[in-house]
Each structure stands twice: as structure tokens, then as C-alpha cells.
């Protein structure tokens, strides 16, 4: 059937793809190619750029802070992503059982942190972690403990900034999970119940397999979103203490802002792109290996 319509498809397909291809090319691919070009140069804008070969890449690679930033990004993602997915999945199951106006209210309310955006979330959490006046140490005080230097201790700083990340992404994760859950026909569950499956069994044998596409989507997008994080370290910790919360994009941003010549920060961004692409590719491959995604 598809074969017969092949020629028709070409016309239709290219008509439907033209906008996205034009947009991607003009506003992403061309600037990207231009950026690749610049990454081989040292450029101060007002004099002709000086070709420096792979120097910009070399400088980043030999900077231990760059490799540390990649690890920090991975650690951060590892804290945030699973927590967010599990919490979102559990809460989506919970919300699914709610009825009426209350359900609508809950669904709207959990989205509020996402509405507010990461920068403001960062500002709010900066106050929460305030050493003397913050909510976090206020709670710590209930237990008669000394205030904790959340953002100044090497041990606590990175976990501390994962909280706003989980919190801002929680609403959208839950809603997408919920959309997936509601898509699953009740008849599957009824059939499973007749066969005597429990709550856990139903989740494992029906819900999770049928949610594969959605979980794959959330994994990939969540991974890129979290490892690209820079707003929270920028607003809350400024990468400290002792570079403990400097994520890859924070590192790039710092060099972008402080370097006199452009080139190095762009080279760093390109290398980060390669790392990011490679890891995402692995996630895709692993998840796709069992069964093709497309139906």
C-alpha cells in the first residue's frame, strides 16, 4: 500500500516538511555551521579572526574544570531524572483516581512551578536555603539542630540545587504521564483483573509496557533538559562551592561571559553537543532494541 503511494507521498511529505526544514536550516543549522567555523578561530570581532586550528578544543580538553563540569552535569541528571520520573509516575496514578473539580484543580496547580520558570524558581530557592532566614534551616531548627550551610558545603550543594529542578519539572512530567495513563484502555485492566493480577502486576505488565513511548520521550527530553541545566547554578550557587555545582552549560556560560575572545566557549559548547548526542544515542538504542518505536 505504501509502495503504491510512494510518488504521492513525496509531494505531500515535502510540502509538510518545508516549514520545519526551512526553520531549522535558517535559525539552527546555519548558525551552527557558522559556530563550527568560529570554533577554529580566535575572534575579537573588530579584527580579522585568527585561525588557531584545534587550539580552542585543546584548551577545553586540558582544563580539568571542563571534564569536571561534564561529570557534575551527569551527576546532577542522575539525581534529578529518576526522581522526577518515579514521582511523576506515582502521582499521575494517584491523580488518575481523583474526580471532579478537585482533580482539575490539582492538575492545574502542579503545573505552576513550570509556569514560573527556572530563573524565578532559582530566586525562590535561594531564599529557602538562606543560612539564617531560610525555610530549610527553619525546619532543621524544629529538630534542635544547628543551621546547615546548604549551599556552601561541598556535600550538600549539588543535592540542594536538584530540588528546584525536580520541583519545576514535576508538573509537566506528571501531566504527560497522566495523558499516557488515560490513553490505556480500561478493558486491559479489566481483563487482567479477571486473570487475578494485583496492582503491582497490572502496573508491570500493562501500564509500563504501554507507556514505553512516553517514558522514552520523557527520558530523552529529561536527560537533555537536566544536563543542559545552567539557570539554577547560575542563580543559586554561582557554580560553587569550589566548582562543585558548575554544570557543563554553566562552564560554557562563564567562559562566554568572561573570555575576551570568542571561540573557546563555542568550542566547549560543540564538544558538549557531541557528548550529549552520543549519550542520547545510547539511550535511544537501548530503548529501541527491544521493539521498534514506530507502530
290 binds other proteins (CB under 8 A): no
Q: Of 85-104, which residues contact other proteins (CB under 8 A)?
A: 91, 94-95, 97-98, 102-104
# residues near other proteins by CB under 8 A: 140
> Residue from 80, 81, 110, 219 that binds other proteins (CB under 8 A)?
110
Contact predicate 111/167, CB 8 Å:
no
Site string for other proteins, 170-209 (x = CB under 8 A): xxx--xx-xx--xxxx------------------------
Query: Any idea of the CA torsion for 146, 152, 156, 157, to the nearest 10 degrees?
Result: 140
152 binds other proteins (CB under 8 A): yes
77 binds other proteins (CB under 8 A): no
> Residue from 53, 133, 144, 196 that binds other proteins (CB under 8 A)?
133
165 binds other proteins (CB under 8 A): no
> Residue from 80, 81, 134, 236 that binds other proteins (CB under 8 A)?
134
Q: Give whichever of 50 and 204 is closer to other proteins, judged by the CB atom.
A: 50
Query: Other C-beta atoms within 10 Å of 153: how many?
Result: 13
Amino acid at each position: 500500500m505504501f509502495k503504491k503511494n510512494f510518488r504521492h507521498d513525496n509531494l505531500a511529505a515535502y510540502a509538510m516538511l518545508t516549514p520545519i526544514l526551512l526553520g531549522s536550516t535558517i535559525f539552527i543549522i546555519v548558525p551552527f555551521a557558522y559556530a563550527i567555523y568560529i570554533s577554529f578561530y580566535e575572534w575579537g570581532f573588530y579584527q580579522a579572526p585568527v585561525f588557531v586550528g584545534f587550539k580552542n578544543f585543546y584548551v577545553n580538553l586540558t582544563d580539568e574544570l571542563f571534564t569536571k563540569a561534564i561529570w557534575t552535569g551527569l551527576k546532577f541528571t542522575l539525581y534529578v531524572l529518576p526522581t522526577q520520573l518515579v514521582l511523576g509516575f506515582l502521582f499521575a496514578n494517584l491523580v488518575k483516581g481523583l474526580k471532579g473539580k478537585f482533580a482539575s484543580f490539582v492538575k492545574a496547580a502542579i503545573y505552576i512551578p513550570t509556569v514560573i520558570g527556572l530563573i524565578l524558581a532559582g530566586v525562590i530557592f535561594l531564599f529557602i536555603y538562606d543560612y539564617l532566614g531560610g525555610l530549610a534551616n527553619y525546619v532543621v531548627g524544629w529538630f534542635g539542630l544547628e543551621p546547615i550551610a546548604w549551599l556552601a558545603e561541598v556535600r550538600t550543594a549539588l543535592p540542594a540545587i536538584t530540588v528546584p529542578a525536580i520541583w519545576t519539572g514535576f508538573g509537566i512530567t506528571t501531566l504527560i504521564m497522566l495523558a499516557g495513563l488515560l490513553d490505556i484502555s480500561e478493558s486491559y485492566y479489566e481483563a487482567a483483573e479477571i486473570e487475578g493480577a494485583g496492582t503491582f502486576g497490572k502496573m508491570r505488565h500493562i501500564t509500563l509496557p504501554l507507556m514505553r513511548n512516553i517514558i522514552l520521550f520523557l527520558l530523552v527530553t529529561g536527560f537533555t533538559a537536566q544536563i543542559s541545566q545552567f539557570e539554577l547554578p547560575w542563580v543559586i550557587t554561582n557554580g560553587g562551592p569550589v566548582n562543585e555545582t558548575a554544570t557543563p552549560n554553566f562552564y560554557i556560560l562563564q567562559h562566554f561571559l568572561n573570555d575576551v575572545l570568542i571561540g573557546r566557549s563555542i568550542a566547549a559548547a560543540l564538544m558538549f553537543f557531541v557528548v550529549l548526542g552520543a549519550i542520547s544515542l545510547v539511550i535511544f538504542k537501548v530503548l529501541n532494541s527491544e521493539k521498534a518505536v514506530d507502530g
